[in-house]
Each structure stands twice: as C-alpha cells, then as structure tokens.
Structure 1
Amino acid sequence: MRAVLCGYYGKGNGGDEALLASLLQMLPSEVSPLVLSGNPDQTRDRYRVETCDRFRLLPVLQALRQSDVFIWGGGSLIQDATSAVSPLYYGGLMALAQQLGLKTIAWAQGIGPLKRPLTSWLAKKTFASCTAVSVRDRASAALLADWQVPFILAPDPVWALDAAPVPGLWNLPAPRVAVTLRSHPQLTETRLANFTRALIDFQTATQTCILLVPFQQTQDLALAQAIQPQLPGISQILYLEDPRLLKGVFRGVEMAIGMRLHSLIMAAAEGCRCFALSYDPKVSQLMKELEMPGWDLAQLPEDPTLMSQAWLEHYANGDCLTPEQIQSLVDRALMHKDLLSEALCK
C-alpha cells in the first residue's frame, strides 16, 4: 500500500518535523510512504523515504494517481490566521485526493482558527469526506462535533516520538536549562530585552548552563544569537534538525522555558519542568491541560525581576509530570497509531 503524506514538511520547523517523524514511526509496516516536502532531498536523506517536491503540481498529481492513501497530518494545517493560501493548498490537495478515489485520513489535526467563509466551507467539506479523522485538542474536537464529523481525540503524537541521545550534551556542565523562543509580533524589542535581563538574573542565581534551542532557524536562531552574548555564565546554542535529537535534548535538562508548542511537549514528555510563554491558543490549551505555569506573551511582566523570581520558584519547587502521567499521555497519543491501522486495514 502506497501513501502520500502531506504536511508542513521540509520547511525547517522542528515541530512539524517531529510530527512527520511520529507519523512515520506509527505507520503500519506494509505501508510505503511518499512525503510531499519543501526540501525533498533533505527529507529523503533524513528519513529514508520516497519524496516529492510539494510545490511541483504535475509530480504531486502523478504521486496521487499512483497511490492508495492520502494522509493529511499533522498539526495546524487548516487555519487562516497566518495565511489564506495555506488552507486552500492543503484543502485543495485533500479534495483532489478524494476525487481520485484515495482513502483520505486527516491525522493529528489542530483545526483553526478559521475566520474566512471559504476556508471554513472547504475544511468542513473535506473533513466530512475523510475515511478517518484524529485531532489533538478539544477546540478542534468541538468544531468537528459541530460539523457532525466523526473523529477521535488524542494527545499530540509527539508525546510518543522516540527520542535520541544528543552527542556531547552530557559534556556540558549541569544543571542545564533549555530556552526555546520564536519571533512573534508580541515579542517586542522591549519584551525581549526584559526577558533577556530576567534570564541573566536567573542564570546568575542558579549557575545553570543555558541551552538556547532554535526549533526553526529562520524564526528562532537570530533570537538565540542576540541573547547568548549577554549571558554571564556558560551557554550554548543547540541547532538540531533531527526531531528525535530535539526531543533528546530535554532528557538532559532540569527545566525548559519555551514558546514553541512542541518544545513544551517534548520537555514534559521527558520529565522536565516546564514554564510556558504562550503566543497561540494551542500553547495556552496545553498549559491549561497540564497545569503548566507561564504567561501569555501579551501579558509578560514588565519587571524582569518578577520573571526571574517566577522561574527561580519553579526551578526550585516546581513539579514535572510523574512517570505515570507521562505514560498515560504516551499511551493515549498512540490512539493516532491505532486509527492509522484501522483505517488502512479496512
């Protein structure tokens, strides 16, 4: 059985790469994947899979015609908050696959926000025509329930992603704290300066080794490079493209301060204390579900001392998830794997 996998793959985003790695890990062994990628050579070399350039229409059409299954997943593909084009691209491919008679699976989706009537109509139509649907958050589940589309709800598949050890990590002095920031309009120059001042004070008080971890080079690396020279203690920028290594980073740190959704999932899954900075409802929802401390980015304290004190308190006294809680989340995340097996064996 041949399956075309479609997502925001090959674009240098660690979270989306983690979703692809999780999907490949969960695919039944009898399924032969072909991944639509923004960087086909890199995706082929990293995952040892067949690939196709996601922007070349004729090869994509040929791949669909030669396949049995189309898998949309995972993550926030169907939303029009950041782009009106993105949901039309993904929705258009799903509609095309359905017209060609392929089994279509919407896998580990985070749906919305959908602010435009056209994208909302297209989403409702394509989800309703899917062979199977799984979502990773309650807001997406509520939307599908309103549309009367059958689905399963399970934690993000990255909870169950296999981590890999990071070469050289254990040579860095302990204790270690990981920081994952991304550029965002609400992370203003003033807020970044206050954050950096707070991080300086935190490191001075704890003598921790600060690991700055860009999840997407184009959005995150410049921030890490701006912060690192100002830190008084030992620090390092860890730019890792393999998502299994990204998850492996959090096996060796005491606490994570993060904006990126999947950095917080990876950290929590590896038993790390987490402190969140939310720029998106998906991060706020994770904070609520896990009772994770943090702030919305728009309400970041103006006083760096308040920030550093909150981090110090969590570093000293905060809780991480228990092994039982982590195992429960991993087991439930594997429902996305069960859905693939059931849908592909029909």
Structure 2
Amino acid sequence: MSILRYTYSRLGRRDIGQRGEELATNGRKRYRLVLSGYYGFRNSGDEAVLKSILTALAEAANDAGIVVEPVVLSGDPEWTTKQYGVEAVNRTKLGEVRRALKNSDGLISGGGSLLQDATGLGSIPYYLGIMAIARWCGKPTFVYAQGIGPVNRKVFQPFIARAFKRSAYVSVRDEESATLLRRYGVPPVKIEVVPDPVMGLPAGLDVGEESGKLEGVLGGAQSGASISETKSGSVNESSVESVGDSAADGEDTRPLVGVSVRFWRSDRADLDRAAAALEALAGRHAVRLRFLPFHRGADEDASRYVMERLAGSGVAAELAPAHDDPQLMLREVGRCALLIGMRLHSLIYAANRNVPLLGLSYDPKIDQFVQRLGQRAVGTTEALDPDFVAESAAEILRDPSEWHRSCDEAIRRLKQDAARPSQQIIDFIRN
C-alpha cells in the first residue's frame, strides 16, 4: 500500500480541497498551505530549507495546474515577506497562527531538525503544538523532510508518535530518523525517507524567468533578492550583492577552501583543533581560506575566533558576508574547490553544487548526511586529528577526481529525489 493510499484510508477526505473549490480562478484552483519551521531567524540553513520548499511547491503546483498560497510562521514576519514575497505571520502569536491554520488547506511541518531536545526543552512542545492546533482546526498535517532527534527525554516520544500517526504524510531526511519513529511506534508504511530539501535548491534563475514562474503558482511574486544567472550559466553581477572579495581575485590561482564553523564546546577546544587543522593544511598545500557564516552573528564570531588563531600562525583567511538570501551563500560555496564544514547545511550546499566536502561532526545529523554520500566525517568536536584532516583535504585538492567518482552518483540521486515531498503533498490536497 502506498503512503498516500494509507493516509487516505486512515484520514478520509475531510475538508481537503474545499477552499480550493472556493478560490478557483482562471481555471486554477488555489490552496493555502501554512509552513512551520525555524524560519525568520536568518539562519542560512533554515532559510535555504524554506526557499527550497517554496520552490519545490511551486514546481509541483505548476505541474498539477494549481496555485499554492504559502503562509509562513516566522520569527520575523516582515522580513520573511520581504525576502520571499509570501504571506507570513508571527510564530509566537497563537491567535494569528490559529487564524492562519483555520483559513488554510493544511500545515507543512519542516524541514530541519525541529523535534530534538539537544538545544533546549521548548522546541518539541512548540512544533507538536502547532501540529495539534492544525488538527483542532480540522486540517491535515504534512511532515516535510524532518531530521528527528536527538530526543533524550522519553516523555516526548509518545507525543511525537501520536502526532506523526495522525499526519497525512510523513517524510524524514535520513534512515536514522525513520528508525527512531518506528521505535516510537509510527507504522513503517507511513514513513518516507527523502533527501534534505536544500539538495533541490537551484543556484538561481534569470530574474524575469524566476519571478514569472513563482508568481503564477505561489499566488504572488517572490520579490526577495536572488542570484541571477543567464541561461548559459554565467552570473549577472548586477543582481548580486558584493561578496567582499579581495582585489587580487582575478590573479589568485590558489584553490579556494570554504570553512564553516560554529560554537559548540564551551572550552572552544573543538575550534582550536579546527584552527590547527587549517594551519596544517596551509603548510601542505597553497590555499585561500574563506570562512562562510551560516548563522548571522554567532557563526561570524566563531569564524573570527578561528581566524585570530590562524593569524597568530601567519595563515591568512577572509570572512564572507552572512548572506540573507540562501542562494547567495549557495553561490559562495559553489566557488570553492573544497568545503570543510561543521554546519549541516554547509555540507548540503557543497553537495548541491558538487563541491568536494569534509564534515566535522558535532551532531549525528552530520554523520548521517555524509554517510548518504558513502563518506565518513573527517573528525568530531570531541576527537579531531589536525594532521589527518589536513592530509585528507590536501589529497582532494591535489586530485578531486576520486572524490567525484565516489560521491557524484549519490548526489545525483539526492537531487532527483529532493522534490518528492512537495509532489506527494500537492497530490494529496488535489485529490
């Protein structure tokens, strides 16, 4: 039995599509979908998830001949609306959230690592609470490529299971998350393992093409900044904000190595070891180090911490802007010959652009992603051998062909499958 047939048999049609019938215009039915995630906090990874989902929904809606009107639950609704050109409401004002859900055709929860208690106790109750409000409003819930866990407090586990059992569609971004859900009692037939949505994020379309495409199927123009590329693939620099490159960019032939770090250990020993690894790499191979902050503020500070230690050793490095638009950071990563990253989405961006990558693991989600490429993390925040990291990086820079032979086919499959949740959700609300 397919996932959709299973959910139909369990949930029935209820009021799916009623608003679509009411809002039918110009031969295209309109559906409103509320999106719940860690949006509006200017974390590049989570914003990339949102933009990827919006893009995938647009493409699936276009293929189905309907219009989707997204409503994003955001920490900064005004910024989200300006950035993406979609309706947004304050995620903490439950009255506004309830009204948005009541006037919708369903809730999309995800993607990202929403249901985990490693960073605090509030995340799991909040996101499950939003799903509960949607059910109270009689709306179906769709779980979109979430990463589940770690869930260290067993008290949360039955609540997660109940919410997912009652969902119309459930997808997770790795097999480990699916295993956790099965252990909690979610029927295996309900769970689909899919790639992270960002694997499907395009580097950017021509401005006119992108605006026209999204305006027609998302019920409004996507007016936020984006990268503009010509159909031949060259970048239209007039539409891209400055990336702060040095004047010697055109003359520097050293390979560009992107570095993504974040604060994790309170004693900063992990960042000290990362600095030692980068220093060792610079001693083995002429490189240009460019730090890529994926979370405005915190990652910039973590990058400066490592850069200061490198400067003390005579190794030069530069800091890229913390771009608000995910596609601008995607372009930053695409310019690299290698990406060494702690942030999960720095690694996903690299895979998206077929850039060789080395993962530094602070969380199982890092290990799970690199394993999908047939690789292993090159080190962790608890145990990192600077010489091993440096030699692994130097080997890739000397001859990246082996990395590509090992990983390119897995990357191709991940890109191909990244849009599956949107296609399933659009099929569900239409039928």
Q: Do the aligned partners of 1:268 and 1:320 also contact (CA within 8 Å) in 2?
A: no
Q: Shift of residue 234 of structure 1?
A: 5.3
Query: What SS class does the counterpart of residue 151 from structure 2 fall into?
Result: coil
TM-score, scaled relative to structure 1? 0.92
Is residue 32 from structure 1 mapped to residue 107 from structure 2 by the alignment? no
Alpha-carbon separation, structure 2, partners of 1:168 and 1:218 = 19
2:160 matches 1:160: no
Name the residue aligned to 1:21: 51
SS at match of 2:88: strand
Are residue 249 (structure 1) and residue 249 (structure 2) matched? no
Give the aligned partner of residue 35 of structure 2.
5
Q: How does 1:1-346 map to 2 (within 5 A)?
A: 1-27=31-57, 28-29=61-62, 30-146=67-183, 147-149=185-187, 150-164=190-204, 165=227, 172=249, 173-174=252-253, 175-185=255-265, 188-229=267-308, 230-231=310-311, 232-233=315-316, 235-293=318-376, 294-301=378-385, 304-318=386-400, 319-321=402-404, 323-346=408-431
Aligned-partner residue type, residue 96 of structure 1:
I
Identical-pair percentage: 34
Conserved 8 A contact 2:110-2:144: yes
Alpha carbons of 1:20 and 1:132: their partners in 2 closer, same or farther (altered >3 Å)?
same
Check the 8 A contact 1:204/1:233 in 2, yes or no.
no
**2:396 and 2:403 in contact (8 A); partners too:** no
Cα deviation, residue 227, structure 1: 2.9
Amino acid at match of 2:340: I
Contact 2:307 2:317 in 1 (8 A): no
The verdict on how the C-alpha distance between 1:70 and 1:12 changes in structure 2, with shifts beyond 3 A counting, is: same
Structure 1 residue ranges, 4+ long, deviating more than 6 angstroms after superposition: none
Amino acid at match of 2:265: P
Q: Please provide the CA RMSD for this pair.
A: 2.1
Contact 1:15–1:215 (CA under 8 A) maintained in structure 2: yes
Residue aligned with 1:194, SS: helix
Q: Secondary structure, in 3 states, of the residue corresponding to 2:108?
A: strand
Cα distance change of structure 1 residues 197 and 25 upon mapping to structure 2, 3 Å threshold: same
Q: Secondary structure at the match of 1:179?
A: strand
Paired amino acid for 1:202? L
Task: Name the SS for the 1:238 alignment partner.
Answer: coil
Q: Could you tell me how far apart the structure 2 residues matched to 1:112 and 1:236 are? A: 32
Name 2:233's counterpart in structure 1. none
Worse-superposed segment, 49-58 or 204-213:
204-213
- Higher mean displacement: 204-213 or 214-223: 204-213
2:358 aligned counterpart, secondary structure: strand
Contact 2:161 2:186 in 1 (8 A): no
CA 128–190 in structure 1, closer or farther in 2 if over 3 Å, else same: closer
Provide the rounded CA distance (Å) in 2 between the counterparts of 1:134 and 1:183: 29
Q: Aligned partners of 1:306 and 1:108: how far apart in 2?
A: 33
Q: Give the SS at the match of 2:297.
A: helix
Amino acid of the structure 2 residue aligned with 1:178: G
* 1:10–1:39 contact (8 Å) kept in structure 2: yes
Q: Whole-Å Cα distance in 2 between the matches of residues 63 and 168 of structure 1?
A: 37
Paired with 1:167 and 1:325, the residues of 2 have a C-alpha distance of: 32
What residue is the counterpart of 2:222 in the other structure? none
Give the partner amino acid of 1:238: P
SS of 1:299's equivalent in the other structure is coil
TM superposition score normalised by structure 2: 0.75
The Cα shift of 1:332 comes to: 1.4
1:342 positional shift: 1.8
Structure 1 distance, partners of 2:317, 2:152, is: 45
1:256 partner SS: strand
Contact 1:271 1:320 in 2 (8 A): no
Q: For the Cα contact (< 8 Å) 2:39–2:50, is it kept in 1?
A: yes
Distance 1:50 1:72 in 2: 16
**Whole-angstrom distance in 2 between the partners of 1:342 and 1:183:** 41
Structure 1 window deviating more from structure 2 (317-326 vs 156-165): it is 317-326
Contact 2:199 2:352 in 1 (8 A): yes
Rg larger in structure: 2
8 Å CA contact retained: 1:274, 1:292: no
Checking the alignment, whether the CA contact within 8 Å between 1:207 and 1:233 is kept in structure 2 is no
Distance 1:80 1:225 in 2: 28
Alignment gaps of 5+ in structure 2: 1-30, 205-226, 228-239
Aligned residues: 343
Q: Distance in 2 between matches of 1:35 and 1:148?
A: 27
Which SS does the other structure have where 1:101 is aligned?
coil
Q: Give, in whole Å, the separation in 2 of the partners of 1:321 and 1:7.
A: 33
Judged with a 3 Å threshold, the aligned counterparts in structure 2 of structure 1 residues 155 and 77 are, in CA distance, closer, same or farther, namely same
